[in-house]
Each structure stands twice: as structure tokens, then as C-alpha cells.
Amino acid sequence: MHKLFRYDFIYLIPLLLSAIFSLRSFGLKWPKPYRIFSIYLILTLCTEIFAIAWKWYLYKTVYWNYSKSNLWIYNSFHLPRILLFILFYYKMIDSIIIKRNILITGAVLLLFGIIDYLFIQPLHSMNNYTLIFTNIFCVILALLFFRQVLQEKKIIKLSGHPMTWISLGTLLYYAGSLPHFIFFNYLFENYKELALSLLNIHQALNIIMYTSYLIAFLCKPPSAK
């Protein structure tokens, strides 16, 4: 347990809190798409816990002895999480044309992700090709939401709207972590220490993202459309 008190696990605090508070969306007053996002957060939390547990204890038991690397966990759970994320934005965007494009792009992305996972990149290295494309797609989704806000006739109070905070966190994290993911595998093979030190930037962005998600679920429930 004391291992958890290292600085590189600080991001678990806002993630845990946001997952807990996201359960509020299952109350009657929250629009239904927020439940999808809540499931996404809970799945993310479970992925993180599983990945940490694997690295510390689960990789070697009486019954098995595998590599300590937990990248296969992140690779495996990335696609289901992204599917929930895309579904959430699909529900929240109003434009029918954009919704159709999200579906098509999401389907292509998922297909590519499966092919990348099974055939292109090894299991125990980060599937950064999938990550790069999903990062770009997530940035576009966040920008699409802000575009919708600017075009909407009704003026919404942004600071009190959960979707604003979700998109804010999404935009900052997925845009900021893009250079890191692009270079990660190359750096890990050739400059391991540098790759690991760059993880600090990733942790900082994680903290910003999950804190934004936490603030989103602390807001008053928006009215259902």
C-alpha cells in the first residue's frame, strides 16, 4: 500500500474520485449519456488498478509467471474504453451529419485498433499507432463539442456545464500527450530513461484530465435534451 503514495500515482486520486462521483449520473436528474461516461471512468479505474496490481503482484503467482510489463493490459482495455468514449460524444453531439461521421470514423478506428493489437504491433509494447489515431480523434470530438456550443442559439453557462469540463480535460490531455505517444516506443527501445522521465508529463496531463472529469460530476445535473 505504501507504494501507492509515490508521486506517480497521484493521478489515481482524481480518477477514483471522478469515478465515484460519476455514479451520480445514475440518478434521475442526469441525462443518460453521462451514464456511459461513468462506465468509461469506472472501466478506466479498473484498468489502472489491474495494471498496477499486475506489475506488483499478479505477474508472478503459484500458477503462472509472465512478464512484468503491463502494457498488454492498457492495450487490451484501450479499445473498449474508446468505444464508450466515442458513444458518449455520439450521444452528446446534435448534428446528424457529424454523428454519422463519428460512427464511421469510430468504426474504422476500432477496426484498425483490433488489427494493430493482433497483427501489427507486439502485445508487450505500447500500441502507439492506435493511440495516436484515437488521440487525434478525441481532440476532434472535444473541438466538435466546443463548435456546437459556439453555434448553439441558446447560451449555456459553460462553467456549470459538465460537458464543458469533460471536453476541456479531454482536449488538454489528448492534445498534450500526442507527442509523447508518437515517440514512446522509439524512446523506450533506445533511450529508456528519457522515455520514463517523459512519463511525468503524461502523469501531469492525467491529473488535469481526471480533475476536470471530477469537476464535471460535481456540477449541477444539466437538463435532459
Partner 1 sequence: MQTSFSEVIFLTILITTILLVLFGCIVISFVFHNQKKRYHHQWEILELQEAFNKTLLQSKLEIQEQTLDHIAKELHANIGHLASLININLSALMPQEPGEIRDNVIETKSLARQLMSELKALSASLNTDHIMHIGIIKALKNELNRLARIKKYEISFTQSGEEYRLPPEHQIILFRLCQEVFNNIVKYAHATKVTASVNYLPADFELEITDNGIGFDVELALNQSAEKASTGLLNIKKRAKLIHAETFFVSKPNAGTTVKLIIPRKNII
Q: Which stretches of the chain bind partner 1, using CB under 8 A?
A: 143, 146, 149-150, 155-159, 168, 171-172, 175-180, 183, 187, 191, 194, 197-198, 201, 205
User: Whole-number minimum distance, CB 62 to partner 1, in Å?
Assistant: 41
User: Whole-number minimum distance, CB 134 to partner 1, in Å?
Assistant: 15
Contact 113, 92 (CB under 8 A): no
Q: Which is nearer to partner 1, 4 or 194 (CB)?
A: 194
Distance between CA atoms of residues 93 and 157, nearest Å: 17
- Helices 192-218 and 178-190 pack at an angle, to 10 degrees, of 150
Q: Which is nearer to partner 1, 14 or 176 (CB)?
A: 176
Q: Which is nearer to partner 1, 175 or 219 (CB)?
A: 175
Q: Which is nearer to partner 1, 81 or 180 (CB)?
A: 180
CA angle centred on 52, ends 51 and 54, rounded to 5°? 65
User: How much of the chain is helix, strand and coil, in % rounded to 5?
Assistant: 80, 0, 20
- Helices 71-92 and 128-151 pack at an angle, to 10 degrees, of 20
Q: Which is nearer to partner 1, 80 or 222 (CB)?
A: 222
User: Whole-number minimum distance, CB 87 to partner 1, in Å?
Assistant: 23
Contact 192, 157 (CB under 8 A): no
Q: Which is nearer to partner 1, 52 or 172 (CB)?
A: 172
User: Whole-number minimum distance, CB 209 to partner 1, in Å?
Assistant: 11
Dump strand ranges (E) for the chain: none
Q: What is the DSSP letter of 121?
A: S
User: Whole-number minimum distance, CB 197 to partner 1, in Å?
Assistant: 8
3-state SS assignment for residue 120: helix
User: Whole-number minimum distance, CB 186 to partner 1, in Å?
Assistant: 9
Name the residue among 206, 162, 170, 158 with its Cα closest to residue 47: 206
